[in-house]
Amino acid sequence: MQVRPWSWARGPGLAVILFLIVTAVGTAGYMVVEGWSAWDAFYMTIISVTTVGYREVHATSFAGQVWTVFVLLAGVSTLFYTASVVMAEIVEGGLRKGLESRRFNRMLEQLKDHFIICGYGRIGGVIADEFQRQGIPYVVVDRDPDRVHAVIARGGMAVEADASREDVLRRIGIERARGLIAAVGTDAENVYTVLTARVLRPDLFIIARIESEDAEPKLKRAGADRVLSPYQLGGVQMAATALRPAVVDFMRLATSSERLDLAAEQIEVKANSRFVGASIRDANLRQDFGVIVVAIKRAAGHMEFNPAPEAIIGANDQLVVLGHPDQLKALEAAAG
pTM recorded for the entire structure: 0.60
Report yes or no: 319 and 313 within 8 Å, Cβ to Cβ.
yes
Give whole-number Cα distances, 223 to 120, 166, 209, 300, 316, in Å.
Answer: 21, 15, 13, 19, 22
Beta-bridge partners for 117: 140, 181
What is residue 5's predicted lDDT score, i.e. its pLDDT? 46
What is residue 90's predicted lDDT score, i.e. its pLDDT? 65
For the chain, the C-alpha Rg in angstroms (whole number) is 34
Report yes or no: 111 and 135 within 8 Å, Cβ to Cβ.
no
What is residue 258's predicted lDDT score, i.e. its pLDDT? 57
- Terminal Cα-to-Cα distance of the chain (whole angstroms): 51
Query: CA-to-CA distance for 144 and 265, rounded, in angstroms?
Result: 34
Query: CA-to-CA distance for 71 and 42, rounded, in angstroms?
Result: 12
* 3-state DSSP assignment of residue 168: helix
| Secondary-structure breakdown of the chain: helix, strand, coil percentages, each rounded to the nearest 5 | 55, 15, 30
Q: How far is CA 211 from the centre of its chain?
A: 24
Report yes or no: 294 and 306 within 8 Å, Cβ to Cβ.
yes
Report yes or no: 219 and 184 within 8 Å, Cβ to Cβ.
no
Query: CA-to-CA distance for 179 and 117, rounded, in angstroms?
Result: 9
Q: Which domains does the chain have, with CATH numbers?
A: 12-107 (1.10.287.70), 111-228 (3.40.50.720), 260-334 (3.30.70.1450)
Give whole-number Cα distances, 219 to 117, 142, 206, 294, 308, in Å.
Answer: 16, 20, 10, 30, 36
Q: Residue 319: which residues within 8 A CB-CB, separation 6 or more?
A: 266, 267, 268, 269, 285, 293, 295, 296, 313, 331, 335
What is residue 202's predicted lDDT score, i.e. its pLDDT? 94
In single-letter form, the type of residue at position 198 comes to R
> Which ranges of the chain would DSSP assign to H, the alpha helix?
12-33, 38-49, 62-88, 96-110, 122-134, 145-153, 166-171, 187-200, 216-222, 230-243, 245-255, 280-283, 325-334
Query: CA-to-CA distance for 286 and 125, rounded, in angstroms?
Result: 37
Angle at 172 between CA 170 and CA 178, to 5 degrees: 95
Instruction: Return the axis-axis angle of helices 38-49 and 62-88, rounded to nearest 10°.
Output: 50
What is residue 226's predicted lDDT score, i.e. its pLDDT? 92
What is the chain's pLDDT, residue by residue, as a tens digit (336 residues)?
334 444 444 556 777 788 888 889 988 988 998 888 899 889 888 888 877 767 777 888 888 888 888 888 888 888 788 777 777 766 665 555 666 677 777 888 888 899 999 999 889 999 999 898 888 899 999 999 999 999 988 888 999 999 999 999 999 999 999 999 999 988 999 999 999 999 999 999 999 998 888 889 999 999 999 999 888 888 888 898 888 888 777 777 666 655 556 777 888 889 888 888 888 888 888 888 888 888 898 888 888 888 888 889 989 898 888 888 788 888 888 887
What is residue 3's predicted lDDT score, i.e. its pLDDT? 40
316: left (phi over 0), alpha (psi -120 to 50) or beta: left
Q: Which of 298, 294, 299 is nearest to 320 (CA)?
A: 294
Q: Which of 55, 54, 25 is nearest to 42 (CA)?
A: 25
Report yes or no: 71 and 41 within 8 Å, Cβ to Cβ.
no
Report yes or no: 138 and 114 within 8 Å, Cβ to Cβ.
yes
